[in-house]
Structure 1
Amino acid sequence: MTRVVVITGGAGGMGLATAKIMGRDHQLVLCDNRGDRLEAAAAELSELGMSPTVVHSDVTDRGTMVELFATAAGLGTVSAVVHAAGVSPSMGDAEYVMTTNALGTVHVGEAFFEAASEGAAIVNVASMAAYLVPESFIPTAHFPLAMTDRERFSAEMRTALSIAPEKSRSGMAYGVSKAFVKWYSSSQAERFTGRGLRIVSVSPGSVDTEMGRLEEHAGAGAIVADAAVPRWGRAEEMAELFAFAVGDKAGYLTGTDILNDGGVVASVRERERARVAAQFS
């Protein structure tokens, strides 16, 4: 039976880099909300001898995600999903960022849960930003509402984000939404295991992609300039990790997040510890 991998955000950046790796032994299904970019990605993959199926759809629409997985299941056994679709703070307001990154993850994850076969795995792309938002600012207690009451979830997220100045709200929404991705990938692990499925998340640092560079002059760019590894991460570096996480060799990996940020979070935390210690020395 043909093994199928679904890649959301598959038109560029980390999604396309992952497709180039996983397309060697999987039938590719690429999903993106940018039709022109999808066609370009398909052409690039065709030159590598791959025959991707492209689906122009948006992760914010639960119904189209169900259709996406129905298409994938019609091609073979859905064995892997790399959910790389998402938006950065520069791409929209706080509501848009939260809806796309948080609710989009639920839509993809739940459609995968219903359609995938035993032994399949999904990796959700989070971000190091989830580690840099103070825990007291993350409304984790309200995260489960995303599974049962979308409107109330959105209202609670708006309330939580309202503590930030309006100009900073998209940035905070990004960090909180990626914390949600981590939460979902952990909290649902036992339920997924009950169906023989694995679910993990990966938190990249600042990656040299079109979307990553949108934040070059904001927080991400400043962090790169002062990072433990003082360079941007490469899409290919992230893609290799995504492919491993959903592969057979990672069969014991589930319910956790992998931070792949070049040591940035470790550096930030240690510098803060040293700063606080110096105040009391």
Structure 2
Amino acid sequence: MTAVSLITGGAGGMGLATAKVVGQDRAVVLCDVRQDRLDGAAAALKDLGVAVTAVNCDVTDRRAVDALFETVSRLGTLVSVIHTAGVSPSMGDAEYVMRTNALGTLNVDEAFYGAATDGAAIVNVASMAAYLLPAELIPTSAFPLALQDTEAFMTEMLAACAIAPEEARSGISYAISKSFVRWYSSSQAERFNGRGLRIVSVSPGSVDTEMGRLEEQAGAGAMVADAAVPRWGKPEEMAELLAFCAGDKAGYLTGTDILNDGGVVASMTERARLAAASSS
């Protein structure tokens, strides 16, 4: 059977870059909600000799996600999913951001859990933003609701976002939604392992993609300038890590998050420590 990797958000910068890596030795199913961008990405991959199937899919629609995995099953054996689909704070309100990033991840991962066979892996894209929001603002105790009642989950998440002024809520929602991605990828590891599956998350910093640059004026630019590695990350750098995490060489890697942010969190943490020490 043909080995197949599914990449959500495949028309985006990280998704397409990852498809170019994993497509070197397996067939790729590229999923995205933007048909014009999806067509262009699929054409670019075909020009590189990648066996690619493009599927328009909104990850917030569970039935559409289930149909996506049925398409994958008809093409071969699913060996990995790299879930890059998501939105940034500048792309919508708090509810849209939460539904896309948190429930979109839930839909894709739960469908993967039901469809994949022993040895398969899923890699979820979280964000360094999950490390920067104070822990007391993250409603972690309500995260398990997502597996029981998605609307109750949404109610709790949006209530947590409501501590901020309206104009800041999409940013809070982004950080909370990506914290959920980290939590899910860790908390469900044992359950996934029961079916021989691995689950990992990767938290990128500011990446030089169309979506990443949307946040340049909203604070990302300043964080990049002050990082240990003072530049934007390259999609190709993220792609290599995502592909590795999803591959056989990472067979012992599960239930954890890998922060790949150019040292932003490390720099900010150390500077905060020094500032606190100097003022005491």
Same fold (TM over 0.5): yes
CA contact (8 A) 1:93 1:170 kept: yes
Question: When the two structures are aligned, how many residues end up with a matched partner?
Answer: 280
Alignment-derived partner of residue 279 in structure 2: 279
Deviation at 1:277, TM superposition (A): 1.0
One-letter identity of the residue aligned with 2:138: I
**TM-score, normalised by the number of residues in structure 1:** 0.99
SS at match of 1:87: coil
Displacement, 1:11?
0.8
> Which residue of the partner structure matches residue 215 of structure 1?
215
User: 1:118·1:197 contact (CA, 8 Å) conserved in 2?
Assistant: yes
- What is the DSSP-based 3-state SS (H/G/I as helix, E as strand, rest coil) of the residue aligned with 1:199? strand
Q: Give the drift of 1:51.
A: 2.4
Shift of 1:103: 0.4
Q: Which residue of 1 aligns with 2:70?
A: 70
Query: Which residue is equivalent to 2:110?
Result: 110
Give structure 1 regions of 4+ aligned residues with deviation exceeding 6 angstroms.
none
Q: Distance in 2 between matches of 1:12 and 1:155?
A: 29
Q: Which residue of 2 aligns with 1:121?
A: 121
| Stretch moving more, 43-52 or 91-100 | 43-52
Q: Which amino acid aligns with 2:222?
A: A
Separation in 2, partners of 1:220, 1:107: 28
Contact 2:102 2:181 (8 Å CA) reproduced: yes
Query: Does residue 194 of structure 2 align to residue 183 of structure 1?
Result: no
CA distance in 2, matches of 1:196, 1:237: 28
Q: Report 1:39-54 matches (<5 A).
A: 39-54=39-54
- The 3-state SS of whatever aligns with 1:202 is strand
What is the CA distance between 1:12 and its match in structure 2?
2.3
1:169 is matched with which residue? 169
Q: Which residue of 2 aligns with 1:18?
A: 18
CA distance in 2, matches of 1:130, 1:12: 21
Give the TM-score, by structure 2 length: 0.99
Q: Helix, strand or coil: the match of 1:74? A: helix
Using the TM superposition, name which of 199-208 and 157-166 deviates more.
157-166
* Separation of aligned partners in 1, 2:222 and 2:167: 18
Query: Do the aligned residues in 1 keep the contact of 2:65 with 2:107 (CA within 8 Å)?
Result: yes
CA RMSD of aligned residues (A): 0.6
Query: Which residue number in structure 2 is paired with residue 80 of structure 1?
Result: 80
Shift of 1:138: 0.2
Secondary structure of 2:18's match? helix
Inter-partner Cα distance in structure 2 for 1:128 and 1:50: 31
CA distances 1:68-93 after superposition (whole Å, capped 9, x unpaired):
11100111110000000000000000
CA contact (8 A) 2:2 2:77 kept: yes
Counterpart of 1:148 in structure 2 is 148
Residue 96 (structure 2) aligns with: 96
* 3-state SS, counterpart of residue 171 of structure 2: helix
Contact 2:26 2:51 in 1 (8 A): no
Distance 1:152 1:258 in 2: 29
Aligned-partner Cα distance in 1 for 2:23–2:52: 8
Deviation at 1:221, TM superposition (A): 1.4
What does 1:217-256 correspond to in 2, within 5 Å?
Answer: 217-256=217-256
SS in 2 for 1:186: helix
Aligned 8 A contact 2:102 2:180 in 1? yes
Q: Which amino acid letter does the alignment assign opposite residue 114 of structure 2?
A: E
Structure 1 counterpart of 2:88, one-letter code: S
What amino acid maps onto 1:190 in structure 2?
A: E
CA contact (8 A) 1:42 1:51 kept: no
State the 1:145 CA deviation.
0.6
Looking at structure 2, the residues matched to 216 and 180 of structure 1 have their Cα atoms a distance apart, in angstroms, of 23
Counterpart AA for 1:63: R
Residue ranges of structure 2 left out of the alignment (5+ in a row): none
